[in-house]
Amino acid sequence: MDDGTGTILLRSVLRGTALTALLPSWVTGGGGDAVLDRLRDDAVIAELERSFAEPPVAERIDWSTVRIAQVSHPDLHELVGRSIADLAAEAGQSPLTVVSDTLIADRLTTLVDTRA
């Protein structure tokens, strides 16, 4: 008998992870200005590229499942909902360059959704 009530299935999903959380502590330590300085350093980005290309990190991060969930800077709103992999392919850049450029432009406030 239909009494007018329904059943709703809710799924808990962790959303709004800081994009900086995907970076190693040697990049994110020391406060915001220090992090931004490191992200502007080509040698730091090169080291990140090397470390992210090696196991176990290379096997754990699938940039196609890391999507921009929230930005603070109004010029970045078109990134929301897009994956790091898609943004990198579109820009002809590595995913880590996209990550660093986005974090710099958004003053480290970018949040991501890491659902598959």
Q: Which two tokens stand for residue 30?
A: 């020391």
Mean pLDDT of the chain: 88
3-state SS class at 83: strand
pLDDT of 7 higher than 70: no
State the pLDDT at residue 57: 80
Distance between first and last Cα of the chain? 38
CA distances from 32 to 6, 37, 79, 105 (A): 48, 9, 22, 13
Residue whose C-alpha is closest to residue 101's, from 70, 74, 67, 76: 76
Total-model pTM:
0.84
For 18-75, the pLDDT digits (tens) are: 999 999 999 999 999 999 999 999 999 999 999 989 888 877 889 999 999 999 999 9
In the chain, domain spans: 21-113
Strands 67-70 and 17-18: unpaired
